[in-house]
Amino acid sequence: MQEKEILALARRRADRAEVYAEETDRTTVEFRAGRFHSQESRLALGHGLRVVKDGRVGFSSSTDPERLDQLVDAAVETARYGRECRFRFPHAAEGPAVRTFDNRVMLVTATRLREWGEDLVRAMRARVKDLKLDLTFRRTYVETVVANTEGLAVGFQRAALELDVSGLVVDDGLVWLPGYVNLSNGEPFNLEPLCDQLENLARQARERARLASGTWPVIVMPPALAELLGPLFAGVNGRMKEKGTSPLVGREGEPVIGASLTVVDNPLRDHATGSSRFDGEGLPCRRNVLFERGAFCGFLHDLSTAAACDDEPTGSARRGYASPPFPAITNLEILPGDTTFEKAVAEMEQGLVVYQLTGGGQSNMLAGEVAVNCSTALKVEAGKVVGRVKGAMLAGNIYELLKTVDRVGAVQQDLGDSFLPFLRFPALKTATGD
């Protein structure tokens, strides 16, 4: 194993060392406008080396297995200018049980993925004749090893199979229909639920509806919610606590968002695309509750940010071989509530249902300010969805908005690395072209 050879070389030149090895095998099959477009397979293998020399941290990476000496030389050289090291590399520990690999995923060939795509295109043409479908199948196998000079040597495998769908209907403007399926559990692809979802959305979006700019009740569906919550990801990051830039600093235990919301980072969810037994530094992964019934529970840390903040690491280091570790969310969960979508819509006199966001951004992400465009938004009138609204835009502060949530969906949607219900905001600032 090259990890042992790299550590042996690093021991001669540095006080401590850690090597991260990653092998990735990815196959992608794409359809554009309902036609097969491309098929690509890529294999990558790389090593990232972190060393501690004279109390400072250095890092380098390489994809060349014949130049290990240069890898070590570069890491030691960068340590001269690196940050002060305040942490220790971990010793070996038992990792939790989580399913991240099903061999059936690896048995799905590129030919089979193309057949699935052709079946889906054919089925949707029979239902929505003028629908243009873009499809991307991604099958990814990742094998990771983390080893250090403290005797730790751990690894895991992950096999993910995902389908991204973007449907387009040209009817008095462009109507975008989003879809996603996580196939990483190895079960056969059942296209009927996806077809039903896309057909229903296309039917609802056929009619053009108007909604004046103002403050309206808005149901944000899971795909759009994952984008809207971006500032929350930054806020709970231990690096932002270390810098003192997170609005959550010093607020542990305080109610910050609505009491109906419990938000969790869960790397132990079977066949989620962010799951693993160990984090990027070899620490056992664990389920971290970020907000419990609205109260802030704490930040996500890697070894470095935990030491800088005098906190405990949370097993939240993420990385690839080409970068040092950093704290980040793995699989985001919002625990489901008890409201069906039909009930949430029926209670609204006027408002919006937002399925997809695009083209907008965060005007001040760290403060939680958001301003985002809606590519797929439907108007609700008298408790029914009546048609699509063009040019809608949502704005507000995500922390303040989450305090007001009055309905939480009863079902989580699997988005690969996010598992979210819909949320209904009773008064969300909305601008439209009407």
374 shares its domain with 418: yes
408 pLDDT exceeds 80?
A: yes
Q: Write the pLDDT tens digit of every residue in 30-49.
A: 999 999 999 999 999 999 99
Residues 368 and 398 in one domain: yes
pTM, to two decimals: 0.95
Residue 188 sits in the same domain as residue 211: no
Same-domain pairing of 239 and 303: yes
Q: Are residues 352 and 423 in the same domain?
A: yes
User: Any idea what the CATH number is for the domain that residue 102 is in?
Assistant: 3.30.2290.10
Per-residue pLDDT for 360 more than 70? no
Kindly state the average pLDDT of the residues 137-158: 97
Domain boundary, last residue among 146, 181, 199 = 199
Among residues 140, 167, 199, the one where a domain terminates is: 199
Check if the beta carbon of residue 229 is closer than 8 Å to that of residue 401.
no
Burial 234-244, CB ≥16 within 10 A → b, else e: bbbbbbbbbee
**Average pLDDT of span 211-240:** 95
200 pLDDT higher than 80: yes
Same domain, 324 and 247: yes
Same domain, 51 and 164: yes
For strands 413-414 and 326-327, give the pairing.
Answer: unpaired
Query: Can you name the residues that pair with 407 across neighbouring β-strands?
Result: 424
Domain boundary among 199, 218, 252: 199
Residue range(s) defining the domain that contains residue 170: 2-199
d(CA 26, CA 243): 36
Of 54, 29, 300, which Cα lies nearest the Cα of 189? 29
262: pLDDT strictly greater than 60: yes
CA 350, distance to chain mean position in Å, is 31
**pLDDT at position 361:** 54
Enter the tokens of residue 92. 């070996």
Rounded to 5 degrees, φ, ψ at 66 are -95, 0
- With a CB cutoff of 8 Å and minimum separation 6, the contacts of 285 are 95, 96, 98, 267, 268, 275, 276, 277, 278, 279, 315, 330
The beta-strand segments (E) located in 126-233 are: 132-148, 153-170, 174-182, 214-220
Q: Which residue type does 270 have? A: D
Cβ contacts of 338 within 8 Å, gap of 6 or more: 408, 410
Kindly indicate the confidence band of residue 362, based on its pLDDT and cuts at 50, 70 and 90: low
Q: How many domains is the chain partitioned into structurally?
A: 2
Provide mean pLDDT across the span 321-346: 97
As a whole number, mean pLDDT of residues 140-153 equals 97
In this structure, the answer to whether residues 192 and 213 fall within a common structural domain is no
